[in-house]
Amino acid sequence: MSPTTPLDQRKPAIVILDFGSQYSELIARRIRETEVYSLVISYNTSVEFLQELAPKGIILSGGPSSVYSNAAPLCDPAIWNLDIPVLGVCYGMQLMVHQLGGRVESAKQQSEYGKAPLIIDDPTELLTNVESGSTMWMSHGDSVLELPKGFVKLAHTTNTSKAAIASHERKFYGVQFHPEVVHSTYGMAMIRNFVYHICGCEPEWTTTSFIDESIEQVRNQVKDKSVLLALSGGVDSSTLAFLLNKAIGDQLTCMFIDQGFMRKGEPEFLMEFFKRKFHINVQYINARKRFISKLKGIIDPEEKRKIIGTEFIRVFEEESLRLGPFDYLAQGTLYPDVIESAGTNIDPKTGERVAVKIKSHHNVGGLPKDLQFKLVEPLRTLFKDEVRKLGRSLGLPEEIVRRHPFPGPGLAIRILGEVTDEKLNCLRDADLIVREEIRKSGLYDEVWQAFAVLLPVRSVGVMGDQRTYAWPIVVRCVSSEDGMTADWSRLPGEILEVISNRIVNEVKGVNRVVLDITSKPPGTIEWE
């Protein structure tokens, strides 16, 4: 995200300067849970641009660097003269100390990682209503040895003498732990203290306010022109379709390209749902044969993704010319896509921002340069959980709102090796059983994603009195908040037993079911 091109006209109440922490995005999400609007921007954003944004508070994120190294990423020192409250988190606290005249050194004997009880020395302002002895999540190899002039110690842990600090007069605060993670039991209390009591923010970031502002912005941008939306049926594009339909009505045309890699019965369900039930203009494009022919003999997963992405663009171009002309293209780009595409990770050795490799078939940056559309992206300031709330407020039914994420290339990347019609039919049936049984168990909403994967190997089995030689199905169920990290879901054994029995008995071509118990990292959620 360029510091000179804000996402939209809405100004953030709290700005997070990102120094490469894995938790920067999480800080923004936690602040938004308090109904206060926040944005993540680069650590080297100029003080002039910050003054344009006019935030009520600034948070300096953590990061992998050491403030005393030659390559340490530094914020504009003029920030300290803005008369705006600042909260430094981990590296951000060390940077505050370093730039204001204190001392930070390597804490080889006092490094601290994981859970630690926080002992409070000054229970005012930032630590109001935070229980002494409560758990905080530590992750640091450096420590503050000397405080800058005017700072006091707020709290300590067994290994960190200055775990929280403050300059009450200047409203500068620092914590050596991560209040934004779930392991920090009173972390949200601290965030609320900073956002509400120290910065004086009001809870104005609501779905109602977002809908009203977005409708006005879309109408001002589009005016009387036509808009085309590629509808996938997922939460993001469905919510966007409802929002745009509310904003511009008949000026919206949705295009649903059936590439043949959807889950069982989904194309029929989506057409019935959007076109006939909610009277949203959806054009159905059957491109199944075209897509699968392009994948004949293709085994490499990245090549598969690229072929599907390229073919999707080609079909989209052709059909938009046939159905158009259209002036605008609507995309369901979300804020994590924007952050990821900006590449704000910091190399601790050089202090430079590192571009993050985005997986193929991604919204941001995936369009050809010669595609003659202006973009409409009203969701690009939202996180996934905010999109779900927005969908509910717009009247989107729960069966859409609560849908698990589904990859753009569809089932083609849940089949390892070559994709064929036979494998697709097999996987569709197995995948349906997995989802049906998890819904029956009442655990669907507790699982981030639940699906089946087909492996390109065959193993020996016995059915009745005959030996079989068939494919195995992998059951993959993970729990996560945002998909950035994930853990495998501990489903009850009796549910897994029913899933396994049904798959081997009902799905032709399968004689074995295995369970994936790998977290992310080191694995990924998808297999390809």
Q: Which residues are catalytic?
A: 90, 178, 180
Question: What is the spatial distance between Cα 303 and Cα 305, in angstroms, rounded to a whole number?
Answer: 5
Tokens of 149: 């002039």
Give the burial class of 95: count Cβ atoms within 10 A of its Cβ; 0-12 exposed, 13-18 middle, 19 or more buried: buried
For 200-221, b/e burial (b = at least 16 CB within 10 A) is ebeeebebeebbeebbebbeeb
In 3-state terms, what secondary structure has residue 476?
strand
Question: What is the spatial distance between Cα 220 and Cα 214, in angstroms, rounded to a whole number?
Answer: 10
Q: Verify cis geometry, omega within 30 degrees of 0, for the bond prior to 148.
A: no
C-alpha distances out from residue 61 to 4, 24, 178, 334, Å: 20, 6, 9, 21
**What are the percentages of helix, strand and coil residues in the chain, rounded to 5?**
35, 25, 40
DSSP 172: E
Dihedral of alpha carbons 157, 162, 163, 166, sign: positive
Q: In sequence order, what are the residues at sequence separation of 6 or more whose Cβ sits closer than 8 angstroms to the Cβ of residue 206?
A: 35
Specify the residue for token string 């190997």: 457
For 309-336, b/e burial (b = at least 16 CB within 10 A) is bebbbebbeebbeeeeebbbbbbbbbbb
Asked if residues 259 and 229 have their Cβ atoms less than 8 Å apart, the reply is no
Q: Which of 82, 61, 87 is nearest to 166 (CA)?
A: 87
Angle between helices 24-33 and 335-342 (to 10 degrees): 150
C-alpha distances out from residue 33 to 25, 47, 180, 385, Å: 13, 27, 11, 10
Question: What is the spatial distance between Cα 153 and Cα 166, in angstroms, rounded to a whole number?
Answer: 7
Give the pairing of strands 14-18 and 57-60. parallel
Tokens of 5: 């091109």
Asked if residues 247 and 219 have their Cβ atoms less than 8 Å apart, the reply is yes
Question: What is the spatial distance between Cα 108 and Cα 142, in angstroms, rounded to a whole number?
Answer: 8
